Amino acid sequence: MKILFLCLNEVGKGTYWRALYLGRELARRGHTVTLLATAKESRFHLSVRQVEGVTLLETPDLFSGSLRSGWDPWNALRRVAWLRGEDFDVVHGFETRPTVLLPALYEKRLRGCPLVLDWADWFGRGGSVEERSNRLLRNLLRPVETFFEERFRGEADRTTVICSLLNAKAQALGVAPATILHLPNGCNTERFFPVERDAARQRIGLSPSGLMIGYCGTIFPRDAQLMAAAFDRVRAEQPDARLLVIGYCPVDMRPLVASPEAVVQTGYVADGQINDYFNSCDICWLPFHDTNANRGRWPMKLNDYMAAGRPTVATAVGDVADLIRQEPIGLLAAVDPLSIAQQSERLANAPALCREMGARARELAISRFSWASLAGQLETLYTEIV
C-alpha cells in the first residue's frame, strides 16, 4: 500500500515520533509510507528526505514558536498543493488541526481516499487548553481547539485512539465502536536498551553514587510543582538524591526545589548519549495530577523508561495506572508529594525489586508494546478499508 501520514508537529517533536515509528515498521513490512510534518525553521521551501525507510516531507510554516503546531493556513495549503500530484491508498491524519485536517479532507472528499484519524491528546474544552496559565489565551483557544478536535471525527472511516478516555470520548461524539482501534504508543527498543548503571553514569560524567530519579521531556506547570515537592521530600530522607530531567523541558525545575544543585537539567541530548542518561537513573517518575489533559493521553516517556528497563513510580492517573496495576513494572502513588516520595524510597531501598520490575518492563517493551506489534494492528486496519 501507498500510505500517507499527516502530522501537525515539527520534526522531532510530540506526535511526530508516533507517526515516524509506525511508518518505519510499515515500511519494513513492504509498504510505501510518506510522512508530512512541519519543518523546524523553513517558512517557504518544502524539503524531502528519507528517514528510517519513510519519505519525510518537511512543509514550511509562517508561524514561530508554539504556534508552529498545526494552525498555519499557508502550511495547510502547501500540503494540498503537493498532494495534487500524488496518489495514495490510505491517509492517516494524526490529530485534526488545520494543517492535518485540510489535506486529509482533500484526499477523502475530492480523491475518494479512505481516511483514518488518530486521537492522541485531549486538546480542547476540559483538556490541555485548561492547563494554560494565561486566562485570555485559554479563553480564546478553548472554542477553537474544541471545534477542530471534535467537529470532523465523523469523517473518518476508522479512528485510532491512544487511551481509553479518548476511546469513550470518540464514541460520545458518534464514532461507531467497531471502527475504533485502541493504539497506545510503542517502545523504541533499538534506541533505548539496558546497560550497566555505573558505566552509563561514567560515560556522561555523572557521579556513580547516590539515588538518581529520572524524568523525561515536557511537563505541565502544575505537574512540575508536584514533582518539585515530591523531590524535596525525597531529599529530606536521602540527601544525596538527584533529579535528572532529560531532554527538552519547558519548565526549569531548579528554582522550584529546595536544593537546586541536586537537579541536573540536560536540555537537548544527542542520540549517542540519550540511552546512557536513561540508564543512569535508578527509578523514573510520572508525577501527574488527575486531570483530563493527563488522563486523555499516553505519555511516550513511559515507553522510553520501559525500553531502558527502568522501574517507574507514577501517580494513579489514566491508562498508565491500569498498566501498572496489571504488570509489575513500577509502583503507583497518590497525587501527593509524600506518597510519591514514599513509593520512590521503597524502590530505592529494594534493589532486587527494582531489577525485577525493570526486567519486566523491558519484556513488555519488546513484546506487547513494540512498534512492530502495533504497526501490525494498523496494517490490518488499513487492509480492511482499502
Q: How far apart are CA 381 and CA 179, in angstroms?
A: 9
CA atoms in the 13 A half-sphere facing the CB of 75: 32
Q: Where are the beta strands (DSSP E) in 180-248?
A: 180-182, 212-216, 242-246
One domain for residues 286 and 259? yes
pLDDT higher than threshold 90 for residue 135: no
User: Is residue 143 assigned to a domain?
Assistant: no
pLDDT of residue 66: 81
pLDDT of residue 150: 95
Q: How far apart are CA 293 and CA 304, in angstroms?
A: 20
Name beta bridge partners: 49: 56
Dihedral, 364, 249, 129, 171 alpha carbons, nearest 10? -10
One domain for residues 261 and 329? yes
AA letter at 279: N
One domain for residues 342 and 234? yes
> What is the residue-averaged pLDDT of the chain?
96
The pLDDT-based confidence of 68 (bands split at 50, 70, 90) is: very high
Q: pTM for this structure?
A: 0.93
> How much of the chain, in percent, has pLDDT values that exceed 70?
100
One domain for residues 11 and 106? yes
pLDDT higher than threshold 90 for residue 308: yes
pLDDT digits (tens, 9 = 90+) for 340-386: 999 999 999 999 999 999 999 999 999 999 999 999 999 999 999 99
* DSSP assigned state of 386: -
One domain for residues 13 and 40? yes
Q: Strand pairing of 47-51 and 54-59? A: antiparallel
Q: How far apart are CA 86 and CA 77, in angstroms?
A: 15
pLDDT digits (tens, 9 = 90+) for 244-284: 999 999 999 999 999 999 999 999 998 889 999 999 999 99
Rounded to an integer, the average pLDDT of 96-113 is: 96
Number of domains in the chain: 2
CB-CB contact of 299 with 369 (8 Å)? no
User: Is residue 191 assigned to a domain?
Assistant: no
Q: Where are the beta strands (DSSP E) in 217-337?
A: 242-246, 263-265, 283-286, 312-315, 330-333
Tell me if residue 125 falls in helix, strand or coil.
coil
CB-CB contact of 285 with 314 (8 Å)? yes
pLDDT digits (tens, 9 = 90+) for 169-181: 999 999 999 999 9
User: Is residue 132 assigned to a domain?
Assistant: no
User: Is residue 192 assigned to a domain?
Assistant: no
The residue segments making up the domain with residue 24 are 2-120+152-186+371-385
**55: CATH:** 3.40.50.2000
Cell of 291: 486531570
